[in-house]
C-alpha cells in the first residue's frame, strides 16, 4: 500500500467513506478518475477525485455528524446517514439533495448498503434495493428508482434486546447486509437476546435461520463470491463462518476490537482493521 497524494481539507474529522462503483459492463476509459465520497463531523459530504487528488464537490445535507455513507449501485446517487438518524439522498453530479428520510430519527445510522434489485424475487418496482440500519436495532429496506424519483419502503425490521448491561458505555453496533449468494435475504448482527447472526427473508417476512456466535459482533462482511461471512469481535477475534452451515475458522491476529471487515470484490482477500492495525488476508480457494 502506498500513498500517492493528499488533499488539503478543513479540520473537520472524516467519519466514513465509500468508493464510487463502476457501472456493470463498463470498462474504465484511459485517464478516467476514480472517486471517493466522505462524510464529515460537520454534516458535510465531500466527493474527491483520486487521480487529481482534489475535492470536486461539497454538499451539506445534514445538521449532525455523518456516521454512514455509500453510493447507489450506478454511482449516480450518494446516500448518507447521520448521528441523528436522518438519511439523505443526493446527486453525485450536482450535489442537490432529492430525498430526506426521517424514519430512523433519534438513533445513529450504522449501515447504508445498496444492491441491484432482483425483480423476480420481490415483485416490486425499482432499480435497486437499499437498506439502512440504526443503533436501536432497526433496519429499513427500500426499493428505489432514482430516475423516476421513487423511493418505497419495502420492509421494516426491529430486533428485540434486553436492557443494556450496567457499566457498558456503548452497545455493540447494529449491522445488516444483503446476502450476495441468497437473493431476497439479509443478514443481521447486533446486541440482542442471543449472540447470533440472523438470516431474514424479505419474501417470507421471517427469520430463516440463526448462526450462533461466541460474542456480540462488532463488524460484518459477506463474501461476494462464496458463501462465507467475516465477523469481528471486541475480543480481538476474527471469524470466517461458512454458510448456511459449517465449522467456523477463528483468527487472533489483532490486538484490539476488530471494528472493520471488508471483502474485496473478488472475494479472494479480506481487509480487517482494529485501533492500531490494518490486516489483509489471503483466502485460498475463494
Q: Does residue 122 register a pLDDT over 80?
A: no
Q: Stretch 189-200: mean pLDDT, rounded?
A: 95
Q: Are 73 and 128 in contact (CB under 8 A)?
A: yes
129-182 pLDDT, tens digit per residue, is: 999 999 999 999 999 988 888 899 999 999 998 876 654 457 899 999 999 999
pLDDT-based confidence at residue 2 (cuts at 50, 70, 90): very low
Element (H, E) at 194: none
* Domain 164-285 indexed as CATH 2.130.10.10: yes
Q: What is the pLDDT of residue 18?
A: 94
48-95 pLDDT, tens digit per residue, is: 998 888 999 999 999 999 999 999 999 999 999 999 999 999 999 999
Residue labelled with grid coordinates 439502512: 132
Q: Are 130 and 146 in contact (CB under 8 A)?
A: no
Q: Does residue 121 register a pLDDT over 70?
A: no
pLDDT-based confidence at residue 238 (cuts at 50, 70, 90): very high
Q: What is the pLDDT of residue 270?
A: 94
Q: Does residue 9 register a pLDDT over 50?
A: no
Q: What is the pLDDT of residue 80?
A: 98
Q: Where are the alpha helices (DSSP H) in 116-255?
A: 119-122
Q: Where are the alpha helices (DSSP H) in the chain?
A: 119-122
Q: Does residue 116 register a pLDDT over 60?
A: yes
pLDDT-based confidence at residue 127 (cuts at 50, 70, 90): confident
Specify the pairing of strand 66-71 against strand 228-233. unpaired
Q: Stretch 199-207: mean pLDDT, rounded?
A: 94
The reported pTM is 0.89
Q: Does residue 286 register a pLDDT over 80?
A: no
Q: What is the pLDDT of residue 53?
A: 85
Amino acid at each position: 500500500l502506498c500513498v500517492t497524494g493528499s488533499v488539503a481539507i478543513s479540520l473537520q474529522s472524516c467519519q466514513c467513506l465509500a468508493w464510487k462503483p463502476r457501472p456493470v459492463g463498463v470498462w474504465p476509459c484511459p485517464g478516467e478518475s476514480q472517486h471517493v465520497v466522505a462524510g464529515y463531523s460537520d454534516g458535510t459530504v465531500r466527493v474527491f477525485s483520486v487521480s487529481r487528488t482534489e475535492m470536486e464537490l461539497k454538499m451539506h445535507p445534514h445538521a449532525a455528524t455523518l456516521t454512514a455513507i455509500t453510493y447507489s449501485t450506478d454511482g449516480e446517487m450518494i446516500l448518507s446517514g447521520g448521528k441523528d438518524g436522518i438519511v439523505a439522498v443526493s446527486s453525485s453530479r450536482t450535489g442537490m439533495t432529492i430525498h430526506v428520510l426521517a424514519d430512523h430519527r433519534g438513533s445513529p445510522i450504522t449501515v447504508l448498503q445498496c444492491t441491484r434489485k432482483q425483480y423476480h424475487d420481490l415483485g416490486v418496482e425499482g432499480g435497486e434495493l437499499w437498506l439502512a440500519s440504526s443503533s436501536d436495532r432497526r433496519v429499513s429496506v427500500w426499493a428505489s428508482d432514482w430516475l423516476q424519483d421513487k423511493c418505497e419502503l419495502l420492509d421494516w425490521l426491529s430486533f428485540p434486546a434486553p436492557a443494556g448491561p450496567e457499566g457498558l458505555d456503548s452497545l455493540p453496533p447494529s449491522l445488516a447486509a444483503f446476502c450476495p449468494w441468497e437473493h431476497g435475504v439479509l443478514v443481521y448482527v447486533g446486541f440482542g437476546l442471543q449472540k447470533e447472526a440472523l438470516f431474514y427473508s424479505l419474501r417470507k417476512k421471517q427469520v430463516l435461520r440463526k448462526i450462533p456466535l461466541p460474542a456480540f459482533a462488532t463488524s460484518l462482511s459477506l463474501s461476494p463470491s462464496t458463501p462465507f461471512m467475516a465477523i469481528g469481535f471486541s475480543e480481538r477475534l476474527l471469524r470466517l463462518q461458512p454458510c448456511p452451515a459449517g465449522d467456523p475458522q477463528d483468527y487472533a491476529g489483532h490486538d484490539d476490537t476488530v471494528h472493520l471487515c471488508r471483502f474485496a470484490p473478488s472475494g479472494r482477500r479480506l481487509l480487517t482493521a482494529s485501533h492500531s492495525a490494518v490486516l489483509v488476508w489471503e483466502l485460498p480457494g475463494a
